[in-house]
Amino acid sequence: MEKEQQELYEYARKRIKQKKALYFHFVLFILGSIFMFVANHFGAFGYTFNWSIWIITAWLFLFILHFTKVFITDRFMNKDWEREQISRLVAQQQKKIDQLQTKVEEDTATKPQ
């Protein structure tokens, strides 16, 4: 049972790191967006178009991808999902090996000696 507890602990620790990084990304996004908006509107860069909106939109898209990975993808594709997929693939491989073994046995039984 100790191995299972260790795996649960490691999984929880990984999730906490992911969420912490996501929250940091969110705070950085907010502060960076404010800075870019202020720099675009009050800075003397000589640009007449709203370049900060394009950068903020691209950054928002990246943040949404990060959010999706942490709260949607990784939630469903966790250790249990991995174990299930591995078990399924091993079972398929074993089935193929058994079929090949049966075929080899049939071929050797029907082969004249």
Task: Tokens for 80, please give them.
Answer: 């249990």
Buried b (16+ CB within 10 A) or exposed e, 29-56: beeebeebeeebeeeeeeeeeeebeeeb
- Hey, how many other C-beta atoms are within 10 angstroms of the C-beta on 102? 10
Q: What is the pLDDT of residue 44?
A: 66
Q: What is the pLDDT of residue 4?
A: 79
Torsion angle defined by CA atoms of residues 7, 11, 17 and 18, in that order, rounded to the nearest 10 degrees: 150
pLDDT in tens, the chain (113 residues): 688 788 888 888 988 999 999 999 999 999 999 999 888 888 766 667 788 899 999 999 999 999 999 988 887 777 777 788 888 999 999 999 999 998 888 888 776 65
